[in-house]
Structure 1
Amino acid sequence: MGQEALDTAIAREIWASRYRYADEPGIEATWRRVARALATVEAEPAVWERRFADLLADFRFLPGGRILAGAGTNRQVTLFNCFVMGTIQDSMDGIFEALKEGAITMQQGGGVGYDFSTLRPAGTAARHAGTIASGPVSFMRIWDSMCATILSTGARRGAMMATLRVDHPDIEAFVDAKHRSGELTHFNCSVLVSDAFMAAVHADADWPLVFPAAALDGASGEGRGDAVRRDWPGFDQPVACRVIRRVRARELWEHIMRATYDHAEPGVLFIDRINQWNNLGGLERISATNPCGEIPLPPYGACDLGSINLTRFVRDPFTSRATLDHDGLEETARLAVRFLDNVIDASSFPLPSQAEQARGSRRIGLGVTGLADTLIMLGWHYDSPEAREQAGAIMQAITHAAYRASIELAREKRPFALFEVARFLDRPFVRGLPGDIRAGIARDGIRNSHLTAIAPTGTISLLAGNVSSGVEPIFRRELCRSVLTGDGSRESYRLEDRAWQQWRAGHPHGPAPDTFVEAEALLPEAHLAMQAALQPYVDSAISKTINVPESMPFTDFEAIYQRAFNLGLKGCTTYRPNPITGAILQDVDTATPCCGIERESD
């Protein structure tokens, strides 16, 4: 068995242009290379090489793209898909040092996320030089040019995330930054929305736009009538901030929503919720995520990602006997934890600070892909209580198996370096774990501070035969998609969803069941409800895009984000076709060019 395991033309192109190393004859050789590389950190490499190879076989477990591309090669690359970079110091030296760190990280294969909130708002005077600041958005353009230059050729697009606080004085400029076609094309942008801001929106109150007073004029700001105290990136304690101006919270919220409605960005991150549910919330403050949002990270944090392909665990699909192999699923989750934990020791890092952060917390992000196809194979409609219950049960089983595996690893190899038993057990997510898991943590510690995250998995899902991506519904049963090839050009392919292909093979003339629902047929509430069903069992976050029709009224669109906040989600991203970005994917019958942007890092 060699390249025949890749049974679609697009899978063969993706493997050849992104993941094949040297003269590997097929994907199985790639799997063997990766398994061997990650087993080298074990006391018994031969044993674990066999187990890791079995884990990868038949696309049961899909490691992040950087792992497939880099493990076991002699390339100077990182095995981590993405990083959140360090706090940008508000000085010319600090800004360009951060730019250099980003360039080094991207050159070695990692996407980057930055919080630009530390940069002074446009029009304010520098504390010492007396020059006038140009604001965060102007410096984002430098990052965008750097990204385009670093990745001007090859089969991967540059991936960056930019965040800005909702109380930063340049928030409106940030919200409008991508209104023109071709502007900041390498960035995904998200606003850091606080609980206090949402309360001000609901109360129709004024909202202060602020910046640390000491960074503006060297004064503390204490005792001034126009100062408030805020937690701010770069400061260990709440700091006095000067109120630059005030706006109506509801008008600012509508501005954000209108931009997202018209141009598909910015996304929204409910940042207080992210920090509240962070397993290391007592040790760190998060203000940025990786480019797709599934891993909120502290400065210099890294994404160590892998996804379980749920479709491989369905027995007797499309029949009344269809079931999920829960034992196999849990065993795969346990082995995947060890696999991803080994990545931390096997990988090189672009920067020493990234290695220190990864080895200190040993964060991993085990997720799922193929959820929609799996539900269809089991006979469930994506928008049904039964489907949400099934999905939640699947994620709960994976998460609990992962935590138990991490406890066993801690007993064998020691807990993560930053582990403090009382503080860890007191975190909200950990408090909700079963008693045996909490007892195991108290007794043996835990190897990894975080264990689960759900990534978009677009490319690796294509590699696995076009299973539905992540937890998204099927976009189309048949569609057209273009991918970047090895020479940097784009090639278009016509695809069939994996479950649809399997159904048609067994039922060439029969009508399709109504479980084959496509994304555009689902109401936004169905997307939100599925995300809400999974989030209680995900200790990081979920990358989820709600596709909405161009005809949706603005008031209905804005209500999606209000509903996401009320459901307790950590963030919300929507996509409505628009003149700037077009449509992400196209039906096979359309005459327009295939595909637009790829909203993923690999």
Structure 2
Amino acid sequence: MQDYKTFMESISEEEKLGLNENQLRIIFAKYLKRDADGTVVETPLDMFERIAKEIAGPDAVYRPDGEVEKTEKEFLDMLTKLEFIPGGRTIANAGTPVKNLANCFVIPVEDSMEGIFQAVKEAALIQKRGGGVGYCFSTLRPGGSWVSGCSGIASGPLSFMRVFDVMCSTIMQGNRRGAQMGTFHISHPDIEHFITAKDDLTQLTNFNISVMLDDKFMKAVEADGEYDLIDPHTMQVARTVRAKELFNKIAYHAWKTGEPGVLFIDTANRHNKIKHIGLFKATNPCAEIWLLDYEVCNLGSINLDRMVRKVNGRIEIDWNKLRKTTRTAIHFLDNVIDAGEYPTEKITRMAKKTRRIGLGVLGFADLLYQLGLPYSSEEGRMVASEVMRVIDEEGWKMSEELAREREVFPAWKGSEFEKEGRRVRNCAITAIAPTGTLSMVGDTSGGCEPNFALAYIKNSHSIKEQFTYVNKHFERVARERGFYTEELMKKIAEQGTLDGLDEVPEDVKKVFEVSFNISAEEHILMQAAFQKYVTNAVSKTINFATSATIDDVKKGYMLAWKTGCKGCTVYRDGSRGNQVLNIKEVKKEARSSAEPVVVETEETIVVQTEELEVEGMPEQVIVVESSGKTAHDKVPEGKIMVSFDKKQMTNCPECDAPLVKQEGCVLCPDCGFSVCTV
């Protein structure tokens, strides 16, 4: 195996681009081109040159000689300065024999045996190339339905979801981690089975699952009214239920395990500009992109941490730089559509028919640190909206320019854009996607999320040592204000926040918030502030404290719906999946657990306690030694973590460091492992 340290010693400082050790380690492990033996054959500078050259290539079709080289230089300048970071598939595959440059896809699942297994085949081809896939399973008839073609009874959507899950595991065994989203409409007769599908966390481990809630349902919840469940095969009402009971059940299971998420399908389709060719019914795995059947999207993010300038000693947003970067990034992402290759002909046609792209942001929390604004403040939310308004405005201007040069997207005729008299190149241009590993490449905070900690202990696998990682903006302020000490930084790393530290001035504490300083309501309001000017959607985790109640989750869902969010993913710190057991006490007899079981009544949900049968642990349970700390609570010495699902893990399966739940995903801040990286 090639040694990181030896490789880095063999290349020049110029080829390292001034990147720090952490950035270089992530790039080396995940993105540098390798030969058939796994040996790295390019430097970080080579990597960006490879990407810029490949993505500039399509300009040759539209622009005269010499323009391609000019575009290549523009792209390279933006990339090497880390002002814009493309999606992982584009970084890894551009300029290589693997031409899949897109991150996310949606495949239809038709209500027939042929249709179901055609979808399995198409999804396997996508995942083989490293893409993430979303499916709507509420198109399938409910369990117990009569199937005339075989004179039998339908097994129901959940049984077929397991087929997709096994397929994904098989692809994973081929050294690819699959990412899948299963969506399900609230009106399907099997909805209760779907809501509880991941109570057994050894099942559907390769899926995120989300319930699609329509406005009719949400209004019925508000009015404590009834709601019809409709058989999608016969389109007849199967039964009528009390909406609030279903809503309570969704909230309880999300409170307990973090799943299912919720998606507001009517909100998404109200903003669907191409309804004439289809309505949304599924998203990509992290829900920041709603896609039509066979649609695809490629992603990239502007590094807001670098969109600043100093004026009279004060840091402010460099709006001209942001506009320029937006224009170049839109050009880049539109070119990715033409530079890439796709797994099937249907996907190829759809990619070029709608030309959907997703330009997002990373480094937002670090931008606020530089501006001296708390993430939880109204001022912080105003910055979010204004930043996205500028990106949206400038992005559409660039899309219009590209349309004049290269023609409108082929599905433009009949679209909302035609009705508005707007000739654009793309059906949608913005999305806030998970950027966990990519934000580590950019040495900044992820997406639109707050930082999960200001300091933490980091393992350097290259030099076999530990060191304390401190947020660069906090360290600068600490040194400037004279309260920086190594002892204080280690103390902050132990607890992750500034709470209770008298050494830190109060005005500094106010600005340098982290995720667990921020209430669920403030998380949702920030998501809504971004969504206002995002044409696709926003991937964000709404973090709840351990003490949060089921009612808190329900209030969060209502707030997300009413403020225009297109979905909502919640995670209650310490929720099921992270049982802490004393290793000396793991015996064969049953043990008491804090695991709650729900009892539903006419008016409320009562939480009681049941027993955990340790002897009955399934074989797929992952048991790892504790590395000492979760995102919120320190794990006592002599304890172990028991995790039932890779999305519920506490410790990284690659380096055993504590994992962090953010951006609708799970990330290791130490080695860059991410469940959602595609």
- Structure 2-normalised TM-score? 0.77
Preserved CA contact (<8 Å) 1:181 1:581: no
Which runs of 5 or more structure 2 residues have no equivalent in the other structure?
1-13, 35-39, 61-66, 485-503, 581-628, 642-650, 652-657, 661-665, 667-673
Counterpart pick for 2:53 among 24, 27, 36:
36
> Is 2:365 the partner of 1:289?
no
CA–CA separation in structure 1 for the residues paired with 2:482 and 2:103? 40
* More divergent stretch after superposition (556-565 vs 99-108): 556-565
Structure 2: distance between partners of 1:394 and 1:66: 26
Would you say 1:601 and 2:677 are equivalent positions? yes
Aligned partner of 2:556 in structure 1 is 560
585 and 45 in structure 1: CA distance in 2 versus 1, 3 angstrom threshold: farther
Structure 1 partner of 2:603: none
On the 8 A contact 1:269/1:571 being kept in 2, the answer is: yes
**Matches of 1:116 and 1:357 in 2, distance apart?**
21
1:342/1:183 Cα in 2 relative to 1: closer, same or farther (>3 Å)? same
From 295, 311, 314, the equivalent of 1:321 is: 314
Question: 1:233 is matched with which residue?
Answer: none
| Equivalent residue runs for 1:260-299 within 5 Å | 260-299=254-293
Residue 273 of structure 2 contacts residue 415 of structure 2 at CA under 8 Å; is this kept in 1? no
Deviations 1:426-480 (A, max 9, x none): 4xxxx7xxxxxx7xx3xxx111111111112111001112x11111111111246
2:112 aligns with one of 91, 112, 121? 91
Measured in 2, the distance between the counterparts of 1:190 and 1:210 equals 18
* Distance 1:494-1:173 versus aligned 2 partners, 3 A rule: farther
Q: Name the TM-score, length of structure 1 as normaliser.
A: 0.86
Alignment of 1:61-140 (within 5 A): 61-75=84-98, 77-85=99-107, 87-140=108-161
| Contact preservation (8 Å) 1:457, 1:600 | no
Aligned residue pairs, count: 550
Instruction: Name the counterpart of 2:542.
Output: 546
| Structure 2 residue aligned with 1:2 | 15
Judged with a 3 Å threshold, the aligned counterparts in structure 2 of structure 1 residues 497 and 24 are, in CA distance, closer, same or farther, namely farther
The answer for unaligned runs of 5 or more in structure 1 is 217-240, 432-437, 486-490
Give 1:311-460 correspondences, 5 Å limit.
311-316=305-310, 321-420=314-413, 423-424=416-417, 426=419, 441=422, 445-460=423-438
In the alignment, the residues of structure 2 paired with residue 498 and residue 293 of structure 1 have an alpha-carbon distance, to the nearest angstrom, of 30
Q: Is the 8 A contact 1:2 1:27 kept in 2?
A: yes
Write the letter of the residue equivalent to 1:202: E
Structure-2 separation of matches of 1:368 and 1:379? 19
Whole-angstrom CA distance in 1 between matches of 2:174 and 2:145: 38
Q: Is the 1:290–1:303 contact (alpha carbons within 8 Å) kept by the matching residues of 2?
A: no
Match of 2:21, as an amino acid?
T
- The equivalent of 1:162 in structure 2 is 182
| Contact in 2 for aligned 1:479/1:585 (Cα 8 Å) | no
Following superposition, the deviation at residue 425 of structure 1 comes to 5.1
Larger CA deviation: 407-416 vs 512-521: 512-521
Q: CA deviation at 1:506?
A: 4.7
- Pick the structure with greater CA Rg: 2
Structure 2 distance, partners of 1:146, 1:5, is 42
Deviations 1:350-397 (A, max 9, x none): 111111111011111001111111011011111112111112111111
Distance 2:352 2:540 in 1: 28
Distance 1:4 1:35, change over 3 A: closer
Query: Residue 244 of structure 1 aligns with which residue?
Result: 238
Assess, with a 3 A threshold, how the Cα gap between structure 1 residues 423 and 568 changes in structure 2: closer, same or farther.
closer
Q: Separation in 1 of the partners of 2:633 and 2:363?
A: 21
User: How far off its partner does 1:152 sit?
Assistant: 2.1
Task: Provide the aligned C-alpha RMSD in A.
Answer: 2.5
Counterpart residue identity of residue 135, structure 1? G
Q: Which has the higher contact order (CA 8 A, sep 6+)?
A: 1
1:504, distance to aligned residue in structure 2 (A): 4.4
Quick one: structure 1 residues 115 and 210, their matched pair in 2 at CA, closer, same or farther if it must change by over 3 Å?
same
Matched AA of 1:192: M
Q: Identity percentage over the alignment? A: 40
1:55 is aligned to 2:78:
yes
User: What is the CA–CA distance in structure 1 between the aligned matches of 2:475 and 2:82, rounded to whole Å?
Assistant: 17
Q: Distance in 1 between matches of 2:343 and 2:479?
A: 47
Shift of 1:595: 1.5
Equivalent position SS for 2:392: helix
